[in-house]
Structure formats: C-alpha cells, structure tokens
C-alpha cells in the first residue's frame, strides 16, 4: 500500500509517499480501506520526534480515519466487511489501509461525507473524555477554552452548546474570534490584543468560569487558577508553551479547585471503547441531525507536508484532512 513515511523525522518535507506493507488486523481489530484521515497536532509532534508512538502502534502517522471495512478480526461481531466507519486509530492513518480496534470505530453519521467523518474521532473523543468524564461540565456552567479556533476548540464550543453551558474562547486573530462567535462561543478573546484574564473577568462581571480546557501550559497556570470559581476544574490536554510553572497552592485549597488532565493515545482500548459508546449514544444523533465539523482544508495524501505546514502556521480554523484515492484534490484555504 501507499503510505506517508517520515524516516527519523524532521521538518514537514521529511514526509514522502512510499510503500509499506498492508497491516493485518488482530483478533479484536478492523482493517479499514482509508478514504480520509484527519490531521492533528500530535501528528506534528510525532513527525518532529517529540511524541513517539506506543510500542504496539504503527509508526505511520495518523490518529483518525474514515473509510470502508475490508477485513475483521476473529473476535469482531459488531462490524462486517463493507461497513463504512470512522475510527480513532492508535497510528497508521496516513495510508491506504489502517488497522483500528473494533471498539474505537463508530458508524459514519447520516448525512456526513467520509471527509467530514474523518474529522470527528480525535476531537470528539478528546473533548468528551476531558470535559464530560473528567471535568463533569454541567448545564448552566461557564467554560473557557484556549485555542478556540482549533479542531478541539470548535468541538468544545459545540459540546458546550449541546449541554447548555456558555463557552468563552481565546484565539490569536480577529478573524478567528469572529468565526468562533458565529460558531456559538458567547465571547471570543484575541489574546494578542487583550489580556485574556482581564477580558474574561469583564465578560463574566468578575465572576469567572467553572471549567478551563487548556492547551498552553505553564505560562497560563496562574491566570487560569485565578479565573476559576469555587469548585472549578482546570483540565490540561497539551503544553504548547511548556509544562513547568511555579504556583501558589492556596487558591486550590480555598476555592476547592481540581487540576487534572489527560492524554488520549496511551489510554487503554477498553477506556476508549467506553468513550466511543457514550459518543454514539449522546453525540452521534446530534451530528446526524445537523451538527457538523468545520473542515478548513483538504490535501491529497501525497501532499501531507503541505497539510503539516498549514497546521504549524496556525492560520487554519477547524480541521485539516488528508484524502486518499485517485480523485483526491486540495481544497482552497
């Protein structure tokens, strides 16, 4: 099969379209003929050598795919050959074929293209597990999301709207701020022009927020803790500006704060399967009814380097997707 190979890693140009063996599904796995694969920040980190795959995962990049089931493992009875699915993959998505655990596959929601379906798993599994399972975001609460125009950010906005929570986001441009407010954020703050903490206090009349989903890390820690209300929850899912910070623990005690976080990739197959079942019950019907991911751009598999260049530029809004097949083409950004 054709797959994107990146050797020992480096700049986006290290990725080339080459030949690789078609993987064989294990007893609890599916083999998917890939039609589209989502591009995510962990792919960039893995290509750079900063995020090695788990020992049992494919070394090929790619954590989410959509396509047709072409083989099933001996213990799989919930899927059959010919089904169209979208799936969270442990790796291997930048290829013509990809193996995924059967419990990490979900049906393509009615009305969605395979390109749109490929943009769902990584963001929805991440946002659901962190905001619902870990932070227990509730109707009537306030959520602050850093990186609101990313795939994760837009998904968090949709989740907040779905359950009746208000979502405030931080973004890096006026264009992204306007888009996020059209998408459903109650307020979008351009952190390049305003101190986000002061802007959040102004927007909430000094009351603060209940939950914060953070991708920045150390430099934001103090301001995040200051903004949390009593019983507030801070959830870390990335450290784009570093994982270290000095903090005063007193606010944690006085306001009964929770500081937590997670990474999705090392989670067990059983844990991911539980997330998938909850998404199927609670979110997939909403997607079929009209909730959609926002696709910023698509690139043919062979142009994966251009997809990574766009992601690293931080100019994109929403998801970037690679398409696989003879009719694949780039959509304008």
Q: Which domain holds residue 65?
A: 2-120+276-323
Q: Is 7 helix (H, G, I), strand (E, B) or coil?
A: coil
Tell whether 223 is covered by a domain.
yes
CA angle 81, 86, 92 (to 5 degrees): 90
pLDDT-based confidence at residue 326 (cuts at 50, 70, 90) = low
Rounded CA-CA distance 228/65 in Å is 36
- In CATH, what number is assigned to the domain containing residue 80? 3.90.180.10
The answer on pLDDT for 332 being more than 70 is: no
Torsion on CA atoms 108, 110, 113, 116, rounded to nearest 10: -70
pLDDT tens digits for 278-308? 999 999 999 999 899 999 999 999 999 999 9
Q: Are 1 and 21 in contact (CB under 8 A)?
A: yes
The candidate with the shortest Cα–Cα distance to 85, out of 45, 112, 59, is: 112
Does residue 286 sit in the same domain as residue 232?
A: no
Q: Is 187 helix (H, G, I), strand (E, B) or coil?
A: strand
Does residue 255 sit in the same domain as residue 282?
A: no
pLDDT tens digits for 131-163? 999 999 999 999 999 999 999 999 999 999 999
Q: What is the pTM of this model?
A: 0.95
CA angle 242, 55, 101 (to 5 degrees): 100
Q: Is 142 helix (H, G, I), strand (E, B) or coil?
A: strand
The answer on pLDDT for 328 being more than 80 is: no
- In CATH, what number is assigned to the domain containing residue 135? 3.40.50.720
Does residue 128 sit in the same domain as residue 115?
A: no
The burial of 218, by beta-carbon neighbours within 10 Å (0-12 exposed, 13-18 middle, 19 or more buried), is given as middle
Tell whether 267 is covered by a domain.
no
Q: Are 154 and 161 in contact (CB under 8 A)?
A: no
| pLDDT score at 274 | 98
Does residue 162 sit in the same domain as residue 44?
A: no
| Domains: count for the chain | 2
Side-chain-side CA neighbours of residue 190 (13 Å): 9
pLDDT tens digits for 69-115? 999 999 999 999 999 999 999 999 999 999 999 999 999 999 999 99
The burial of 78, by beta-carbon neighbours within 10 Å (0-12 exposed, 13-18 middle, 19 or more buried), is given as exposed
Does residue 308 sit in the same domain as residue 185?
A: no
Tell whether 328 is covered by a domain.
no
Structural element, H or E, at residue 306: helix 304-313
């Amino acid at each position: 099969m054709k797959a994107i190979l990146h050797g020992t890693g480096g700049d986006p140009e290290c990725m080339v379209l080459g030949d690789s063996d078609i993987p064989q599904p294990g007893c609890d796995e599916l083999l998917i003929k890939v039609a589209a694969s989502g591009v995510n920040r962990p792919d960039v980190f893995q290509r750079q050598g900063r995020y090695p795959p788990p020992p049992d995962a494919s070394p090929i990049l790619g954590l989410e795919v959509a396509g047709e089931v072409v083989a099933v493992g001996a213990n799989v009875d919930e899927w059959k050959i010919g089904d169209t699915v979208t799936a969270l993959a442990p790796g291997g998505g930048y290829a013509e074929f990809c193996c995924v655990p059967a419990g990490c596959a979900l049906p393509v929601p009615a009305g969605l293209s395979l390109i749109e379906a490929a943009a769902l798993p990584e963001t929805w599994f991440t946002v659901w597990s962190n905001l619902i399972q870990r932070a227990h975001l509730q109707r009537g609460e306030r959520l602050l999301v850093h990186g609101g125009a990313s795939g994760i950010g837009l998904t968090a906005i949709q989740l907040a709207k779905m359950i009746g929570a208000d979502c405030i986001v931080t973004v890096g441009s006026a264009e992204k701020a306007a888009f996020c407010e059209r998408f459903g954020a109650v307020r979008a703050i351009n952190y390049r022009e305003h101190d986000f903490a002061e802007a959040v206090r102004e927007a909430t009349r000094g009351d603060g927020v209940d939950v914060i989903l953070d991708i920045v890390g150390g430099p934001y820690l103090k301001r995040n803790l200051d903004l949390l209300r009593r019983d507030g929850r801070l959830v870390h899912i990335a450290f784009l500006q570093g994982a270290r910070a000095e903090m005063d623990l007193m606010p944690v005690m006085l306001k009964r704060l929770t500081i937590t976080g997670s990474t999705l990739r090392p989670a067990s197959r059983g844990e991911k399967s539980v997330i998938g079942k909850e998404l199927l019950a609670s979110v997939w019907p909403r997607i079929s009814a009209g909730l959609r991911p926002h696709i910023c751009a698509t690139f043919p598999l062979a142009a994966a380097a251009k997809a990574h260049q766009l992601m690293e530029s931080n100019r994109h809004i929403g998801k970037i997707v690679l398409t696989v097949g003879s009719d694949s083409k780039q959509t304008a950004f």
